[in-house]
Amino acid sequence: MEASLASRMQPSRARIQPPVVTLEGIASFERPLRERAEPVSPVQHVITTVWRGRWWVLGLALLGGALAFLAGSARTVGYQAVTQIIVDLPAAGPAATSQTPDAVDSALDNHLVSLQSWDLLRTVLDAAREAGLNRPPKEGSFLSRLLHRADSDADRAQGTDKKELKALGDHMRVGRELRSRIISIGFTDSDPQRAAAIANLFAKTYEADLISRNVAADQAALAKVVTEVPAAQESLTRATNALEAYRLTKGATDRGGSDETARESAQLSRQLAIISARLLTTQAQLKRAGDLRAANLPIAEIAELVGSPILANLADQLAAATSDPARAAIQQKIDHEIEVRLTQLKAEERMYRAQINLLDERAKLLSAAASDAADRVSGLQALEMQATALSQRYSDLLKLKEDLQGRIASPSAGIEISSPATADATPNHLSPIFLIPPGMVAFGIFGAALLVIRRNLDQTLRGEVEAEEALKIPCIGLVPRMFWPRAVRISNAVLHATGSAYSRAVASTLMSLAPAWGRGRPPQLLLVTSSLASDGKCELAWSLALAASRMGCSVLLLNLSQKPDPLTVDFRKEFSTSEAPCDASAFLRGDCGLENASEEMRDIGITFMPAPPATVDLLPIIYGDALGPGIDQLRKTYDIIVINGPACQDGPEAGLLAGEADAVLFAVQWGRTHRDVASNAVQFMLQRSMNWERRVPIGSVLTQVNLRKHLAYRFGDSATLLRAGSQ
């Protein structure tokens, strides 16, 4: 709808282009956007942020030091008394724990746990009450006393015991000294004598508790031993009787007889092996001799086989004989000799077999004897071992009984108090002065962290480069902050205190719109708007009008902001000579003349046209054809017209008025205007610029700038020149 209305207004807008206004003077207004000189590293950003807020960090650090000192001074001075006890090494022995590092550490850990048990605390509390060393717990608040008022005496006593036990445990410290067998028992109290007395009471109570527990354990063990001794003695007697009876019935077999049987068995085995070997040799000779005779081999080989020298001699004679009778006689002798040798070998074979049979029978007898001896020896050994074990058990019980009786007669706690606590204890905390540096450092770091977090979360615009990066339009200047801005102060600062930073900043902003002041003219119609009404646009509009008046121009400040503004009211009160009967809406509609709709402020050289009341709708006037003639009349009458336009949050009027202006200044309050809000407002203006008949430059101005804080950001913009000029 807005676009259609704008299209219907094309003819009327063509009539209102001023012939005397040229845009050459604002060419520099459309310069490229500036970029940061160099990227800021995170470290540099943190350092700059902390340096900018150094007084805040310093103040917070001083506050932290003061609070730390006060907290240290408010603490009750405590004295710690320490009693040291040394733990005995575990007893070494077959039935005791070995003296290994793990065993020592385990014993010390048991003592540390026992020293911090509630049972020991109750015992110490009772002993402290008997010795008059206990202190009644502090009374609670009124509410707690009221809640426990209906409790019974037993409940109140139980609550008191819990409080005293908790207080006793909170002030006690138990620890092991390095890797030694020494345990330190410390107690902290405001009275050094009481601290030493309770620390010693802890050690003595623990020692007495250990003695009582050890005596009870020894008595229980002694009672068990006393009941086990008769049974052990009876078992030993039965085992001894069984051993003697076995010896009498089975014979007194000793290990020597068994050894002799073993040696005889070994000798029989060797003999049996030798005879078996001889038997095999004889059998081999008989078989070989039979094979040789069957094969008709020479007599010499048979003689060598049977080992007969006679047969060898006969073989030689047979070889030497020439006649057949002689050879037959010799052959007969050879056959006879062979038969004799074979008969001898067979006799040897039978003898060896008989010997083997005898040896086997002897071996069987020895094996049976050895088995019987082994049975008797094993039975005897088993009875002897049983008797020995029962005798050792009986002796151990008697020894343990004697040891337990001795330990009960002279009990020991297993610990020894090596260094009792004394009353000359020193305070256990530092002087409050030493708490000041860490308090200052902690609060200083906290303050610096708050500054960095606040700066990172800050989405407001502060620098010119930041404004150009966020809004995508040039930032043509900044206006310093004026404390308590009033009409008289602003007029004096711009018109009379020309050397002030405020006057130079406003004049520079106006001159930046017309750099060629001598040859051309500045924008005749200047619209001042902002995203929010509180972003300083009204102060900027009045300041620009005063700067134009200072240059000798006839100036009209056309107020189209329908929201009441205290600064405008103050200007009218201080400088208006008469009150106009009409307002800007009546003049633009043509209902009254310029003289009836304006107020002269001769002291500051400005003509003021008041805004219509909030009940009047400006949108039809801005869209209608009546706006063109009224603007033409104002252009012909005044050199510069400054419009204090409505804010972008108030509606589309600001975007529509920008099409009638020669330049638009967008006010951004330093450190307050959110970048997203300002960016959206500028985008709204740029979208409206598509419907304008000519290109209207738009720039931003930072208002209400705190120069001292601004310089701390080290932006390197025009604020540096303003500060240097004011110095």
Write down the pLDDT at residue 31: 61
Write down the pLDDT at residue 562: 84
Lowest-pLDDT range of 101-105, 172-176, 207-211, 389-393: 101-105
Angstrom distance (rounded) from CA 486 to CA 158: 73
Which of 667, 676, 659 minimizes the C-alpha distance to 704?
Answer: 667
Strand residues in 45-135 grouped as ranges (E): 79-87
Look at residue 94 and tell me whether its pLDDT is greater than 90.
Answer: no
Q: What is the DSSP string of 205-249?
A: HHHHHHHHHHHHHHHHHHHHHHHHHHHHHHHHHHHHHHHHHHHHH
Strands 606-609 and 698-705: unpaired
Angstrom distance (rounded) from CA 525 to CA 522: 9
Angstrom distance (rounded) from CA 705 to CA 277: 129
Angstrom distance (rounded) from CA 355 to CA 361: 10
Q: In the predicted model, what is the mean pLDDT of residues 131-141?
A: 65
End-to-end alpha carbon distance in the chain = 55
Q: Place 97 in a pLDDT band, splitting at 50, 70 and 90.
A: very low
pLDDT per residue as tens digits for the range 145-158: 444 455 455 545 55
Look at residue 541 and tell me whether its pLDDT is greater than 90.
Answer: yes
Angstrom distance (rounded) from CA 162 to CA 169: 10
Q: In the predicted model, what is the mean pLDDT of residues 672-687?
A: 84
Q: Place 99 in a pLDDT band, splitting at 50, 70 and 90.
A: low
Give the residue, 248 or 218, on which the prediction is more confident: 218
In the chain, the percentage of residues whose pLDDT exceeds 90 is 10
Q: Is 697 exposed, middle or buried (0-12, 13-18, 19+ CB in 10 A)?
A: buried
Look at residue 556 and tell me whether its pLDDT is greater than 90.
Answer: yes
DSSP state of 649: G
pLDDT per residue as tens digits for the range 460-482: 888 888 888 888 888 888 889 88
Write down the pLDDT at residue 299: 65
Look at residue 585 and tell me whether its pLDDT is greater than 50.
Answer: yes
Most confident of the following: 30-44, 113-127, 362-376: 113-127
Q: In the predicted model, what is the mean pLDDT of residues 393-410?
A: 88
Write down the pLDDT at residue 545: 93
Angstrom distance (rounded) from CA 475 to CA 701: 6
Give the residue, 656 or 490, on which the prediction is more confident: 490
Write down the pLDDT at residue 11: 31
Look at residue 410 and tell me whether its pLDDT is greater than 70.
Answer: yes
Q: Place 575 in a pLDDT band, splitting at 50, 70 and 90.
A: very high
Residue ranges in 295-323 assigned as alpha helix (H): 299-306, 309-320
CB 384 within 8 A of CB 253: no
| Count of residues making up the chain | 727
Most confident of the following: 83-92, 210-219, 424-433: 210-219
Which of 81, 62, 322, 297 minimizes the C-alpha distance to 187?
Answer: 81
Q: What is the CATH number of domain 14-33+472-726?
A: 3.40.50.300
What are the structure tokens assigned to 455, written together? 């700066």
pLDDT per residue as tens digits for the range 496-527: 888 888 888 898 888 887 653 344 456 788 99
Most confident of the following: 28-37, 40-49, 335-344, 470-479: 470-479
Look at residue 615 and tell me whether its pLDDT is greater than 50.
Answer: yes
Look at residue 325 and tell me whether its pLDDT is greater than 90.
Answer: no
Look at residue 13 and tell me whether its pLDDT is greater than 50.
Answer: no
- Angle CA 83–84–85, to nearest 5: 125
Cα distances (angstroms) measured from residue 414 to each of 160, 173, 203, 411: 34, 21, 13, 9
Angstrom distance (rounded) from CA 399 to CA 502: 108
Most confident of the following: 259-268, 285-294, 396-405: 396-405
Residue 7 CB contacts under 8 Å (≥ 6 apart), including other chains: 691
CB 543 within 8 A of CB 500: no
Lowest-pLDDT range of 144-158, 167-181, 433-447: 144-158
Q: Place 166 in a pLDDT band, splitting at 50, 70 and 90.
A: confident
CB 48 within 8 A of CB 551: no
Q: Is 441 exposed, middle or buried (0-12, 13-18, 19+ CB in 10 A)?
A: middle
In the chain, the percentage of residues whose pLDDT exceeds 70 is 77
State the Cα torsion 298-300-301-306 to the nearest 10°. 130
Look at residue 277 and tell me whether its pLDDT is greater than 90.
Answer: no
Task: Record the pTM.
Answer: 0.52
Look at residue 310 and tell me whether its pLDDT is greater than 60.
Answer: yes
Cα distances (angstroms) measured from residue 196 to each of 184, 201, 272: 13, 8, 94
Q: What rounded mean pLDDT belongs to the chain?
A: 78
Domain boundaries, the chain: 14-33+472-726, 255-408
